[in-house]
Amino acid sequence: MTPTTTAISTAITTNLATAVIEAAETGPACGTVYLLHFDHPYRHAAHYTGWTTNLDARLDAHTAGHGARLMQVITAAGIGFQLARIWPGPRTRERALKKQGGASRRCPLCRPISSRRGGSR
């Protein structure tokens, strides 16, 4: 192969790999990752990160105290919550965000715009 052919082959492979990743993220397994902000913390927890393919139904389930154990507990304790942020993506994105920790750093309700990098001061 010539250098030009190698460059074209690499570009096609990169584009194909990108297309496969994008197709996987927008395919049937694609859903919504969401961050819930609790009105006040329950012990150490002030946020909940979840994933769903039907956000409205999932939020209704959380409000009714169904679904994740933490959401059942805060509902029973009378703690309210707000939808703080959403990201489109597969369930692996939810797992990655949970593994990183630091939900409060991603929560716009915990971090006013003026305190973010690049924000007005």
Say if residue 81's pLDDT is above 70: yes
Q: What integer pLDDT is reported at residue 111 of this predicted model?
A: 80
Q: Which residues contact 85 (CB under 8 A, 6 or more apart)?
A: 34, 35, 106, 107, 108
**Maximum CA pair distance of the chain?**
68
pLDDT of residue 20: 47
- Among 99, 92, 83, smallest CA distance to 35 is for 83
**Confidence at residue 71, expressed as pLDDT on a 0 to 100 scale:** 95
CATH of 31-109, one of 2.50.20, 3.30.1490, 3.40.50, 3.40.1440: 3.40.1440
- % of the chain at pLDDT higher than 90: 63
- On average, the pLDDT of the chain sits at 81
Residues composing the chain:
121
Instruction: Kindly report the pTM of this predicted structure.
Output: 0.69
Mean pLDDT of 101-120: 76
Q: What is the pLDDT of residue 68?
A: 92
Cα–Cα distance list, 14 to 23, 87, 93 (Å): 14, 25, 22
**pLDDT band, very low/low/confident/very high, at 10 (cuts 50, 70, 90):** very low
Q: Higher confidence at residue 67 or residue 51? A: 51
Cα(60)–Cα(44) distance, integer angstroms: 24
